[in-house]
Structure 1
């Protein structure tokens, strides 16, 4: 690109960004005046700029599906007319695409297409996702090629970890569309915002993404926009994390039936773009492997390895390139000192600046990443087991026969010979393994010494009577105290007074019913309830005053919690002796900020494992060890 061309691209980019969001698409078309090359370069910049998200296509999300109960009846659906113009500002619910797919609601839209949730009338009302090219884009050759290329990419790949394309066609208006399977669940980003994944969960997610990428790469398809927002975690009701890759809207397809001119250039999302993407110098399997390395790093560290400058787009790109060349240094081990150094080495190779120095395939990356992560998980489990072992203190054991028992210190040998050269310092991994071995050895010695001294104390002394009194038993640890009782009532939507009995923990919420919580605290404190709502984590009860002991609370007050039609909803209950000021100012139904979500995730991680849930018919008794504050418990409601 010449300096003059770059100047023109920059001028158009600045004008579009500064214009109102609903006018940006039209302004871009007018300023580019049919120049596909110019438009392509501007759009490539807009794709990585946060202010352009209003019309640059974003991933659809299969969430926020509240209110599906009041969709058109089957009879009304059969009477609908074919929908010829699925475009901005039109009400699509109840209309049909090609007399087959009846639209229920819009899931998302961008500058190129619009995505709907629909029911396939030829397959018993099965939920599907229909993506339609915007009417104002069907005359744009580049937009048409991108759209066709996405459907071809999905059609090529047959793998359980990639969303399937089911059908394609054209509306009478000429707009192209294609149909994909509906994935019930949430994005990896949504889960990451709510909580921190365990090491084993990270291993499972990364390995599934890697194998799905390998299947795509074998078919000559390179995603080029891999990020947590484009990784769906399908909810199959077993609480496991099942990966589905989505949004192949800017995928590169080798030997494509669709003309690929104009589909290259600066495309992707900057924090996950490989150096060759930023330089627009090519695309290969290594490009997606780089993005997968960024995701793996982010899952482990809780942040991405590189934070480029954000003053403007040009400085962000220059900053990112500089950071990529330098590498991430020791940042990962500083954030996660519990990780084995082998994990760091694997990620360094995946994030190598030179694509040729990365792993040859996504499968190779997975095969290197999993054993390294498994070693970290074993170290973590071993250290946790050591921490949980009962402590044996020799000073607490009574001396035998009233005499003090002493352990002689071994003499330190001296030598007058010349000292041999010191061995090299052990590596961090060797030091970690050595600490584990020493700790285990010390425990064995302590247990053996304690057993010997106990035997010595209890054995009869020579020349004396053998009727020695046995030592009094140690007091039993205090039992976990009941902190909270939880019951969940089934109610009619819009009429919470019309109860239909209480829900047993193993039951599912029947269609057409909402729920109301009945909570009874057994200790005074501030009682909080959090749950996903409209795709966000929201507060359902934020108290101004502490709850009284034994006083039942029914909430939402004069309302009910409408559940999205996903397989399960996870509610978090918190009973705190002191007010949690981080949640001050929240009101029922209000979404939590990013800082509040992190605080809640920390509370769950620290205190939820201490809670014990006792099931009695429809009642959940949440018990915690004495002195535990706050009491935190997660309740899963299936539907």
Structure 2
């Protein structure tokens, strides 16, 4: 039976199946929000084709009109839900505004994470596409202002993320609709700066918070936190005033602190998105995308291919249905720090000091390990690598003074048998390797900072006193030259100790061979990029004529200097630099000007086509001076 709205009272939030809205027939209601109801509808002109129809809850709703403008003109992107038609119902002039979009068959982002349990690589790729979509929206002056997991759908056929619901969105030049201090939205996903503005300006006439792109990216960070941990950064059940306080002042535990399956690089990206100050976050979606792709490309493959959570099977059926397929569900980590996955061990070897007891051979000192029971606090502190330099300085100076005092004491005594040097002091082994602890990155308050994996550096051998150097005691008083000689040798030991602690890091070895990222060879073949077909590049941050710059090891972005097999000029390469005898580069993502991103396998060559870039004078172990241009060279593996 066909139902006509003119014959009865209209309730736009409760249309029944079969109701006709324009040329669309209601199939089912998908949801109701504060400003509109969404239905799955069928195109009556094309039976079997289904769409999503959003119907305003109030006639003449300016917010619905703004959403139509956004989707039809401003927010057009392949990862934003597509607009098809609009109209008014039941009366074409005075009725409720409606518009028709794609019906996205899939899951909200958090549901997808828990039902499908994808890999961290799949999540990073989906998040990267959302980041690029927001980069395009923000450059067009469009702000979502209500981003949350429910507003990012993962399309079932192809896994593409689709951003939906611009009901409280805004765009540059749009008229002000509300008089509220902050835009309507979900409290859990508000940024710290918007919360602070609301607290300081609540009740003041005309005070309105200007939503920024960094607010949208903060909300994306909250959404990703929810996805990888199963929890929001702050408990949703808190009273609003306490929740406001937590968002503004507290730092949540890092995702890797309690879902230890999370790759550390992904955890770091999410925590940067949640930084309290907007200038400390990624300023654009493009930079967020680059960070995600670099993290995936250079992380451990096994960690990124792992699923987000462990599966927890519930058995093989029930008494009523013993043959039923077991239902799978994730094992959600407990808030805040419990995890079924133990933390990885970190090897930290303390330097060999004569008065510090080292672990027995083969023992491993793990990060966070409690010291042995009964060990004095002073000895516990002496195990810290941070004390290596001052302790060795004291040892060296003390040894020098000891040598001088020994000679004077023996010269003034009548002893016939001088004490052997080996009985007086025990020198460390000259062949022990010391693993220095590098400086930690900026520490996030209220979280346990990850231990930086130590890099083994061979210690300089300690100078030892030879037989000729040992003081030979005679009945006569030693000469001043003998005293000077022994004193200088003792100071030599001190100098060797200081060299052990203070010598600069050695030049790192060249990176080991590595396979290309998955799909890179196929993508390059599709693009027509052939092995050895090099193209000129320039570092993306460099403007003007080529010159010498200083770089450090880590992520980098290159800009192609010309067309490459038909690709438009100006594509960007994302990858990493390695400092060794030369500066090596491995770049694994190519972004073309149309916004599409492809996996690639490209290393850097000098102007003479040598692998790696030459280190210019002025380079040191932690930085390198290089020329700003060279060749991006496609390869089938990294040598």
TM-score by length of 1: 0.44
Higher fraction of helix: 1
Greater radius of gyration (CA): 2
TM-score by length of 2: 0.44
